[in-house]
Chain A
Amino acid sequence: MSELTHVLEPALLAVGELLAAEKTEIALVVVGGASLNLLGLINRTTQDVDVIALASAPVGIVPALLAPPDPLPEALQHAILRVSRDFGLAPDWINPAIARQWSQGIPPRLAHEHHLAEVRRSARRTGREADADRAEAVRGCRPVGAERPRAGPAGAAAFGRGTGSSGGVGGDAGRFGLVPAARRGGGGACPSASTRSLTSRA
């Protein structure tokens, strides 16, 4: 069995390439050691990639919606298994075990994002722009290219085919994008602010 830490980036890129080849797009919110390793904030051994949420692609200024990740989408499960074979990793090297926190109270920041996204979606539906504006203001979202967080409990990883939308959890085909989703101390970065992306040679 290979050590995940050594192949984390190429393995995630591989998942993105497989999904891109299937013309599928799936975005995940990843927390824990894997996300911190990918952000370059730490450099320590990690056993798996903890998925705490699925994220939808942002639409215009409306950022991603978060949803419980268990079970992972079928296409992603297939890609995870395939990459586990191809890189000699454990079959559950990406897993949603940590998603139990959805029933036990997810990290405050994620809950906040989720709630605001719901507000924004509701505002779009009812046409009450004021609600959407208020939501944006509360959220304190920063523009693309915002300051990189020093340390954060959560990161957002996106796999698969891009939507061509501006920033966010998508990206170009075959791209694995990494977006910091929260920042210690609140006032987190906007999920659509891609501070780092890992691009395959696709």
Chain B
Amino acid sequence: MSERIDEIANVARLAAAEAAWRQWGLLGAPVAGAGIGPRSVIDPEALLLLSASVRSSERRLDDVMGWWAAAGSTLLSVQRTTTLLRRFPLATRVGLASFPAAAAAAGDARWTTLSRAAGEESLAPRGKWGGEPRLIPYPALVLRLRAGFGVGVKADLLALLLSMGGTDATVRSLSQASAYTPAAVRRAAQEMEAAAFIRRTRSRPATYYADPARWTALLEEAGDAASGARGWRSFAQLFAFLAWVDAWGNEQRDASPYVASSAARDVYDAHQSAFELNRIRVPDPTQSTGAGYLDTFAATVDKVCGWIQANL
């Protein structure tokens, strides 16, 4: 049985590693064979946490995380990292532990508080390893706007709305997609609307959108990537799912098929909203009984991994 569980977890682990390499590659990490470049907007904190999740099985990610600690940590939100971290398993916490220390050592004092909890496994800042982060390609939109406007909810909200290509969204759905609180999103949206950065519809509940035409010049600089861009995907929730599947594989390796399948249902239940948010149709667990869910869970993991691969 442990082979079956390993097999399922390995699918998630490989998908996580591939996603991490492809996104880091676009941001300027010297990655060989990272495959096709991503076209969706990169969620930087989600990428960091995904990398921390699979770091133990992908040792080369240490170099990338060390590089980013020195070259790009100032473009990350410490608060958002902490918030998203709550959605990830303990293994992610362990994998991330040395990043704040490396970022603080590289001069980003915001990470000092978190660096006190640094783990034993150190991460060396490697600023020269990858050079400067690439911020102009379209998938780097969040980082680019943060570089321009500062790290915070407004830059992220603008990136999110721009990546939606003029489609309007409620505060609730923007909050779900961005992992900021509804109150923070509402306040930011109201102020940005007052400044005519974004528009508000008259519907109830109120929805907001960014008129792409007003930002064309900015987006055109992103080059060809912008024309084939896929916009925003809620990767944070899906990356958390991959990390939990990996953790599930480690924890349930010696469990009975039923106990492992029951724990797999827990993983599914906790991430059902992530599938709905991204409109991924996964098999219905109520159609499987008892240990029979293991096969259904394998199909779910396959489906999600396939979706991530196709939507990066």
Contact = CB atoms under 8 A, between A and B. Distances in A.
Interface of A: 2, 7, 10-11, 13-14, 17-18, 21, 82-83, 85-88, 174, 200-202
Contact of B258 (A2, A17, A85): A17
A87 B256 CA distance: 16
B262 A18 contact: yes
B262 A88 contact: no
B286 interface: yes
A174 B258 CA distance: 11
Contacts of B258: 10, 13-14, 17-18, 86, 200
A64 to B, nearest CB: 25
Nearest to A202: B256
Contact of B290 (A11, A21, A201, A202): A11
A13 B293 CA distance: 16
B250 to A, nearest CB: 15
A85 B265 contact: yes
B224 to A, nearest CB: 48
B255 to A, nearest CB: 6
Contacts of A200: 256, 258
Given A17-B258, A21-B259, 5 more contacts: A7-B289, A7-B290, A17-B256, A86-B293, A200-B256
B253 to A, nearest CB: 13
A6 to B, nearest CB: 9
A2 B289 contact: yes
In the complex, the 9 A-B pairs of residues with the closest C-beta atoms, listed nearest first? A202-B256, A21-B259, A17-B256, A14-B258, A17-B258, A86-B262, A17-B259, A87-B289, A10-B290
B290 A87 contact: yes
B73 interface: no
A56 to B, nearest CB: 25
Contacts of A202: 256
9 contacts: A7-B290, A10-B289, A14-B258, A21-B259, A86-B258, A86-B289, A87-B289, A87-B290, A200-B258
Contacts of A11: 290
A88 B289 contact: yes
Interface of B: 255-259, 261-262, 265, 286, 289-290, 293
Contacts of B257: 201
A65 B289 CA distance: 35
A23 to B, nearest CB: 12
A7 B258 CA distance: 13
A13 B265 CA distance: 18
A201 B290 CA distance: 13
Given A2-B289, A7-B289, A7-B290, A86 B265 contact: yes
A200 B259 CA distance: 11
Contacts of A174: 256
A86 B290 contact: yes
B2 to A, nearest CB: 13
A10 B288 CA distance: 13
A17 B265 CA distance: 16
Nearest to B261: A86
Contact of B262 (A7, A82, A201): A82
Contacts of B286: 88
Which among B258, B289, B293 has the greatest number of chain A C-beta atoms within 10 A? B258
A53 B258 CA distance: 26
Contacts of A86: 258, 261-262, 265, 289-290, 293
A10 B293 CA distance: 14
B235 to A, nearest CB: 28
A14 B265 contact: no
Contacts of A21: 255-256, 259
A22 to B, nearest CB: 10
Nearest to B288: A86
B264 to A, nearest CB: 10
Contacts of A17: 256, 258-259
